[in-house]
Structure 1
Amino acid sequence: MPAKTKNPKKVKTPNTVKSRTTQSAPTRSALRTGAKTRVLSSKVVFKGKVFSVFRDDVIEPSGVENVREVIRHNGSVVILAVDESRNPADPDIILEKQYRHAAGQFLLELPAGRVEPGEATLAAAKREMIEETGYRAKRWTLLTKYFASPGFLGEWMQIYLARDIRDGEAQPEADEQIEVVRMPLSEALALVSANKIHDGKTLIGLMLYDRLRREKRL
């Protein structure tokens, strides 16, 4: 009988090593240390009444050189004025309706306006609320601040909660045509859910206020 041959041992082939893309050292270092952009040159390409546009040649924290076109703005304040006297469980919110040329439509918004050079943000919020709605408030709380669109716009927006309000006469600027709208919070939130409020600051303000109330943090 022929001699039995042993089954050859299976040779294990090494697993394929997958290459991993890693970030370059400058990027990791920049994220870790909070390095900032280095501006090589900056040129004003447009200067208007409300904002200016700059063309900046920069070296960013990653070490990459880029050209960035940036809108510079002095910042804005947003006022979420509430009246809890009628129904504390569902307070009234002061909104306004006005035509926005850039959007091409009428928008329902929280009152807001720009901060003048050298003006404190709380003072700006009080001024804007009187100018646009006529309302005044005894209690003010800063709810949050955020960049409106940081990809190209260097504008801080700060949302103030105004309580214990009383009405008065509005003092709008000559180019402002504003309709003041008063509605319960529940109705305003229903408009948010129905995708009928399209203004970012108003969405942020209403939803943040509602959450803070439900969490009893106000």
Structure 2
Amino acid sequence: MRSLHPSERDPLEESELESSPVYDGVLLKVRRDRVSLPDGSESVREYITHPGAVVVIAVLPDGRLVFERQFRYPLRRAFLELPAGKIDAGEELLACARRELREETGYEAAAWQYLGVMHPCIGYSDERIEMFLARDLTHVGDALDDGEFLEILTFTVDEAVRAVMEGVITDAKTITALFRALPLLGTAISPAAR
């Protein structure tokens, strides 16, 4: 992996020359920038700005993982996903993870571990998703947002991995977070799940 000194400019860097809004929506904002390319020529970059989100790998006392099934309108179908949600303005990451887990699944967790960040759509969005592992769960009842509908399901780690490998789970944040958490789940993946 190539490492740059903090004072060294990345030879692949593109520099913003001008930026203008194209669309300002409730959740997403679209921008069009004129940029200078590494060879000095110019081009246009269009991208979506996003406030960021969290995803939670929630582990029940028996080792099963908490999943959601919810309809995603852009693709017109329901998906299996880990609990996740948008970061509110000024909200701390852990507070968002706690809130989303509670609202969507009805669980609170006594033990939290930050696992890192993923960038799901680097070609057209600045969205980042912060990953958390949650353990020592207690069910206290959900508090879904108005207009939010989902089903709660649980899977063993092997079942979840198998669902990814068989194409049942295709959501990028779920796949990334699940595989990032595998070494911490203390479960060897069986050959059948691979």
TM class by shorter chain equals: 0.7 to 0.9
How many equivalent pairs are there?
180
SS in 2 for 1:154: coil
Instruction: Say yes or no: does 1:64 pair with 2:41.
Output: yes
Instruction: Say yes or no: does 1:121 pair with 2:97.
Output: no
SS in 2 for 1:33: coil
Q: Which residue of 1 aligns with 2:154?
A: 182
SS in 1 for 2:74: coil
Q: Which residue of 1 aligns with 2:79?
A: 107
In angstroms, what is the RMSD of aligned CA positions?
Answer: 1.8
- Which amino acid in structure 1 is aligned with residue 17 of structure 2? L
**Offset at 1:48?**
0.6
Q: In structure 2, which of residues 9, 32, 54 is the aligned counterpart of residue 33 of structure 1?
A: 9
Contact 2:56 2:133 in 1 (8 A): yes
TM-score, normalising length from structure 1? 0.77
Distance 1:61 1:177 in 2: 46
Distance 2:57 2:110 in 1: 13
Distance 2:38 2:101 in 1: 40
Identity of aligned residues (%): 34
Instruction: Say yes or no: does 1:53 pair with 2:30.
Output: yes
Where do 4+ consecutive residues of structure 1 move more than 2 Å? Answer: 32-38, 60-64, 211-216
Any unmatched runs of 5+ in structure 2?
1-7, 189-194
Any unmatched runs of 5+ in structure 1?
1-31
Contact 2:157 2:187 in 1 (8 A): no
Q: Which residue of 2 aligns with 1:201?
A: 173
Q: Which residue of 2 aligns with 1:42?
A: 19
Q: Which residue of 2 aligns with 1:82?
A: 59
Q: Does the C-alpha gap of structure 1 residues 61 and 99 become closer, same or farther in structure 2, counting only changes over 3 Å?
A: same
Distance 1:125 1:62 in 2: 42
Q: Deviations over 1:146-188 (max 9, x none)?
A: 2111111011111100111111111111121011112211211
Q: Which residue of 1 aligns with 2:126?
A: 154
- Which amino acid in structure 2 is aligned with residue 72 of structure 1? T
